């Protein structure tokens, strides 16, 4: 009887629950998703809460990064252009009947044309006091000077990468030291040294070190890469100059000395053939 009574009571309770509205049956405590919390100690806070020195340090790091990336991209484009000019010189210059014709067949912006015109100009001016110098020596010196000019122009901009790579970590470290100093001053003035009061300002200051490394590492890697590519390009230029010297002496330099006008000054405004040739190696 007791079991029957218990079963009857459970059935009545279940029926009463079934008669309730569906909303009441399924009512559960509402679980709210945690609201997204923004980072109060990011770059935005560092800029808005920083003083003049902190903002100037950030601006310097940004400018250094922009300068290094500009040099890196522009030098890569210039080296790529110089590689295509080397292939054009290798394919077309040595098939010409004379050095003059070969030089005129090269692109106006080619450093190889600048070297060829400089060598031809040396043979044309082999008179007077210069005529007392052995022709072989005089042509060799002229070719060497032209190659040196191309090499000098190919190095333009690399000093920027070297400077950024060596100084950016120290600029970031300066910003970190200055930020920690200001954070400690504020903490000391407030009289609260709990972890939530210390972690934020010190973390903001450490961002400066991270930014310094982020600026320096691409500059160092880019510098080493560009130096290696420059070495390969200049090896091709020196081989061209050496072969040109040999051809000039073997083919009779007087026959090739009818080039129209001397090569333009490499430092002149762009637009001339030889001047633009050296510029094409390219400083950004």
CA dist 123 and 267 (Å) reads: 22
Say yes or no to pLDDT of 202 above 90: no
Residues 76-82: contacts with CB within 8 Å, 24+ apart?
76/226, 76/229, 77/282, 78/154, 78/280, 78/281, 78/282, 78/284, 79/154, 79/226, 79/229, 79/230, 79/233, 81/109, 81/280, 81/282, 82/111, 82/154, 82/233, 82/280, 82/281, 82/282
Q: Phi, psi (5° rounding) for residue 277?
A: -60, -45
Q: Which two tokens stand for residue 194?
A: 């709990």
pLDDT tens digits, one per residue of 46-55: 666 667 887 8
Say yes or no to pLDDT of 111 above 60: yes
Q: If DSSP codes are grouped into helix, strand and coil, which group holds residue 43?
A: helix
pLDDT tens digits, one per residue of 242-277: 888 888 777 654 444 444 344 444 444 444 444 444
Of the candidates 276, 210, 225, 216, the residue with the CA atom closest to the CA atom of residue 72: 225
Say yes or no to pLDDT of 200 above 50: yes
CA dist 72 and 280 (Å) reads: 15
Of the candidates 266, 159, 274, 268, the residue with the CA atom closest to the CA atom of residue 219: 159
pLDDT for residue 99? 81
Q: Which two tokens stand for residue 283?
A: 């400083």
CA dist 273 and 145 (Å) reads: 18
108 band by pLDDT with thresholds 50, 70 and 90:
confident
Residue 59 near residue 67 (C-beta atoms within 8 A):
no
pTM of the predicted model as reported, rounded to 2 decimal places: 0.67
Residue 227 near residue 220 (C-beta atoms within 8 A):
no
Half-sphere exposure in the Cβ direction for 175 (13 Å, CA): 30
What average pLDDT does the structure give for the chain? 73
Give 94's contacts (C-beta < 8 A, 6+ positions apart).
102, 243
């Amino acid at each position: 009887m007791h079991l029957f009574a218990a079963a009857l009571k459970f059935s009545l309770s279940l029926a009463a629950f079934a008669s309730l509205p569906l909303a009441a049956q399924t009512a559960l405590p509402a679980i709210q998703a945690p609201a997204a919390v923004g980072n109060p100690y990011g770059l935005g806070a560092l800029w808005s809460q920083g003083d003049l020195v902190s903002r100037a340090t950030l601006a310097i790091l940004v400018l250094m990064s922009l300068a290094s990336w500009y040099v890196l991209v522009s030098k890569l484009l210039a080296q790529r252009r110089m590689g295509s000019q080397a292939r054009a010189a290798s394919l077309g210059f040595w098939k010409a009947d004379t050095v003059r014709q070969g030089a005129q067949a090269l692109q106006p912006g080619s450093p190889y044309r600048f070297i060829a015109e400089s060598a031809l100009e040396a043979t044309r001016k082999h008179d007077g006091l210069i005529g007392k110098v052995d022709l072989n020596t005089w042509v060799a010196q002229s070719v060497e000077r032209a190659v040196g000019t191309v090499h000098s122009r190919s190095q333009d901009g690399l000093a920027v990468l070297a400077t950024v790579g060596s100084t950016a970590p120290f600029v970031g470290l300066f910003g970190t030291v200055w930020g920690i100093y200001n954070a400690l001053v504020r903490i000391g003035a407030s009289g609260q040294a709990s972890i939530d009061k210390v972690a934020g300002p010190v973390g903001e200051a450490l961002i400066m070190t991270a930014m310094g490394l982020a600026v320096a590492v691409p500059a160092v890697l880019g510098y080493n890469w560009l130096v290696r590519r420059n070495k390969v390009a200049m090896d091709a230029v020196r081989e061209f100059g050496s072969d040109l010297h040999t051809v000039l002496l073997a083919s009779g330099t007087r026959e090739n000395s009818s080039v129209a006008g001397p090569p333009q000054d490499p430092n002149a405004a762009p637009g001339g053939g030889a001047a633009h040739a050296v510029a094409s190696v390219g400083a950004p």
